[in-house]
Structure 1
Amino acid sequence: MFPLSHMMKSFVRTGTLKVIDAEGKAHVFGGEEPGLNVTMRLTDPSLYYKLFLNPELHAGEAYMDGRMSFEEGSTLRDFLNLFSQNRSTLANYPLQSVLKRISRTVKRFQQANPVGKAQQNVAHHYDLGNDFYRLLLDKGMQYSCAYFINDDDTLEEAQQNKLRLIASKLQLKPGLKVLDIGSGWGDLALYLAAMEDVDVTGVTLSKEQYELSNEKARRAGLSHRVRFELLDYRKVDERFDRIVSVGMFEHVGVHHYGEFFAKINTLLDDDGLMVLHSIGKMSPPGTASPWLRKYIFPGAYSPALSEVFPVTEQNSLWVTDLEFLRLHYAKTLNHWHKRFEANREKIAAMYDERFCRMFEFYLISAETMFTTGSQLVFHMQLARKRDAAPIVRDYITDLQRHYKSIEPERLKILEKAKELMPA
């Protein structure tokens, strides 16, 4: 099983990995620290070289194709947790260290998202079909990190908590114009308009999201104040009192950050506020997973904060508030995975088993990034003026309490719209 066996000896430092090769021979790689015991079977001898050269790409592909499987009570989740716990030793293996350096030199091309290509990248994932995402997401179809105030919050409760938190940070007032960049299936824009008398424009690059969002606004009776456009944010030419962006910044690409924040400065009113909700990481700048980039999110990248702050400074934007949601996305992904597994037969009928194994690998690997890896979610509040937001952040908690008290009455129109949507 050489050269894979050589790398495995250096790789596994915590837990134990038993690999049954294509000839049925078992190889045990034991760590110096106790941990998970995982048994993996490889049925394709070519994986000995492929996994040695690019384990992050080829492990996912081998699982998708059924050439890598797990036995003796082990699961994919066990393997990915073991992999994540030993990630640093893999990065220090000489060949992997060299490959990482090479990958960083082509980072600009991996994350290229010019106008036009950005829409292609979005369509790759977000236009899989509304019927598919209904089986996975909450009732409002929010495809971003939820906010769990209590451990036993349902997915629906946690997603509404997130909407309430963001709305509170936006400091909404009657008559304000709001721009939602990357508006998804429209739930945030509709929530803002239901809670306050504001005018909201959402822009998305997903045709599926665009059509369903406008239909939801129409059915809720809010289309006079909430509209969605199939448009790249770089082509918006109005100014707004408030800007919000949830789960879109990960698709901008680090070499487009200057373009992004320069556009925000242009779009934002002098007294305006923006709330940016994005995945990031607490580790130094790196590159996106090659498997995730190829199969799930082309052009995507979760930045280190050291890559974000310099660009906000260069574009004269004040960071007026910053909050980290550290484990909330792990909980969210776990909920999505449970719903995925409960509907696996339906999803296989829509696509095929390979698609199911691909999406399963994505959901579990993403969850481990937030439990044992360096991933996190951050909320960055931005302004052109230092005093655009109150200088004591108690207002965020006060507004959350206020919105929660009026939600039962204000959100009736949204619930009715959701009930009318086709199952």
Structure 2
Amino acid sequence: MERLLENVLRRVVVDGRLKVTTASGRTMTLGNAPPGQKPVALRITCPAAQRDICLDPELKLGEAYMNGTLVMEEGTIADFLDLVMAQPLAVNPTAPAKLLYLLRRVLRRITQFNPPGRSQRNVAHHYDIDGRLYSLFLDHDRQYSCAYFEHEGQSLDDAQLAKKRHIAAKLVLDRAGLDVLDIGSGWGGLGLYLAEMAGAKVQGVTLSSEQLALSRHRAAERGLADRVNFTLRDYRDVEGAFDRIVSVGMFEHVGVGHFGAFFRKARSLLKDDGVMLLHAIGRSDPPSVTNPFITKYIFPGGYIPALSEVLPHIERAGLVVTDVELLRLHYAETLKAWRQRFLARREEAARLTDERFCRMWEFYLASSEMAFRHQGLNVFQIQLARRQQSVPLTRDYVAAAEDRLRRAEAAARAPLRLAGE
């Protein structure tokens, strides 16, 4: 297995420099970086981990880091993943890895079968853990989805506010009192923003009891409980008619076998002149499978689709695509900020969980960042309507709406006062 590992790594690592110490103690140096460039160095501590990485690298590499059998000696796990995932040439997988991929492809509809009960269990796996963990690395509003960086160097908090503003603008909130459905309302930040800044009446639905409790507390605390109602409900059980529907970071949990039902339900809930905005992770590559490490440890039942898998279901549901925007590197920058903030407070995270969990979470954030940076993942925002006349003729309204919302944000901001005033 040691020879197989070396052969694979030498075919993969062309740019940069990687030092690998195998379980037997032998060190190999890979790549063609110029002399003096600091290499990334790692050590594999046991033969079993080395064998498993060769056979199933997509799953076992992350597990080895979690278990401490892959140890970074120079650089971080993010440096290693950045180096490997940015390589210019694709490598043919080993025969076992290829067979595992084909098996996962065949079984993907089973692993993504998400009826209501299973959907709630999948959501609880990730979101109903100690809420203090998320406060360590998210922005103050707990936006757990791609931020919108308007310029280089923008802070995470400002970029997440810009995301909410950008989404609100695309919802064409042209009058107060519009009924908005937020599918997958998270910790309530977007729903509260739409009510406070655009005068909307918001119904938010989530499958996380932890998120629901905090969302309701925040609505009451800000005096918005009469305009924002959060409930524990599957989107398939929602009834009523809505002027606007928004869904941010939830579609990845629907599952490929449920896409048609999702859009048919959305159309049935949308008024004739309604507008919907779907914000979700997508892939630039053809349809594939979910990374097995992410499926096993992070988002069971989840899937990142290609647009080619999504658009046919939209068409068949009788909805009109009125706008599509791809946010390419925005999520890479978001994940980088999350990773840096998590590592800065890693000791607190370890006290809340344990060392193995912290290594798992670091690997999740780092590998996800590099997938967006180097391997074709992006975020799509698809604007939908039942009638194409529901959206203005040109996109000028987006910038105009963002300007209005900025002024509303400034007006709502409490003025600073000196002590004693």
* TM-score bucket of the superposed structures, by smaller chain: over 0.9
CA–CA distance in structure 2, aligned partners of residues 60 and 92 of structure 1 = 17
Partner of 1:185: 187
TM-fit CA distance, 1:135: 1.2
* Residue aligned with 1:407, SS: helix
Secondary structure of 1:146's counterpart equals: coil
The C-alpha deviation readout for 1:149-188, integer Å capped at 9, x for no partner, is 1212111111110111011011112221100000000010
Query: What amino acid sits opposite 1:294 in the alignment?
Result: K
Determine if the alignment matches structure 1 residue 65 to structure 2 residue 67.
yes
**Secondary structure in structure 2 of the residue aligned to 1:14:** coil
In the alignment, which residue of structure 2 is the partner of 1:287?
A: 289
Task: Tell me if structure 2 keeps the 8 A contact 1:168–1:399.
Answer: yes
Deviation (angstroms), 1:411: 5.2
Cα offset, 1:47, TM superposition: 1.9
Q: Against the structure 1 CA distance between its residues 65 and 92, is the aligned structure 2 distance closer, same or farther, given a 3 Å change threshold?
A: closer
How far the C-alpha of 1:91 sits from its partner, in A, is 4.7
Q: What one-letter code is carried by the residue in structure 2 that aligns with 1:215?
A: H
What TM-score results when the alignment is normalised by the length of structure 1?
Answer: 0.93
Kindly provide the CA deviation profile for residues 45-77 of structure 1, in whole angstroms up to 9, marking residues without a partner as x. Answer: 012321111101111011011100122x33211
Residues 10 and 93 in structure 1, CA contact (< 8 A), matched pair in contact too = no
Deviation sequence 1:77-130 (CA, Å, 0-9, x none): 121012212486235554433332222111111212111100110111111222
* Uncovered stretches (5+) of structure 2, i.e. residues with no partner: 417-421
Q: Which amino acid is 1:69 matched to?
A: V
Partners of 1:147 and 1:162 within 8 A in 2: yes
**Pairing of 1:56-95 with structure 2 (within 5 A):** 56-71=58-73, 73-86=74-87, 89-95=90-96
Seen in structure 2, the aligned counterparts of structure 1 residues 42 and 139 have a Cα distance that, compared at 3 Å, is: same
Specify every segment of 5 or more residues in structure 1 that has no aligned partner in the other structure, as ranges.
416-423
Q: Residue 244 of structure 1 aligns with which residue?
A: 246
Match of 1:15 in 2: 16
Q: Which amino acid aligns with 2:152?
A: D
AA aligned opposite 1:399: A
Partners in 2 of 1:399 and 1:7 — Cα distance? 52
Residue matched to 1:46: 48
Task: Give the equivalent residue in structure 1 for 2:236.
Answer: 234
Say how many residue pairs are matched: 413
Which amino acid is the alignment partner of residue 222 of structure 1?
A: L
Q: What residue identity is the alignment partner of 2:187?
A: W
Distance 1:62 1:276, change over 3 A: same
Asked if structure 2 preserves the Cα contact closer than 8 Å seen for 1:36 and 1:82, the reply is: no
1:348-368 Cα distance to aligned partner (Å, 9 max, x none):
011111111111111111111
Query: 2:390 aligns to what SS in structure 1?
Result: coil
Structure 2 counterparts to residues 233-382 of structure 1, below 5 A: 233-382=235-384
Query: What is the aligned-residue identity percentage?
Result: 48
Relative to the length of structure 2, the TM-score reads 0.94
SS at match of 1:195: helix
Shift of 1:264: 0.6
CA contact (8 A) 1:90 1:96 kept: no
The separation in 2 between residues aligned to 1:33 and 1:228, in whole angstroms, is: 57
The Cα of 1:409 is off from its aligned counterpart by 2.0
Change in Cα spacing, 1:177 to 1:33, as seen in structure 2 (3 Å) is farther
Counterpart residue number, 1:118: 119
The one-letter code matched in structure 2 to 1:245 is S
Please tell me whether the aligned partners of residues 181 and 248 of structure 1 are also in contact (alpha carbons under 8 angstroms).
Answer: yes
Q: How big is the alpha-carbon RMSD for the aligned residues of Structure 1 and Structure 2?
A: 2.0
Distance in 2 of aligned mates of 1:399 and 1:264: 24
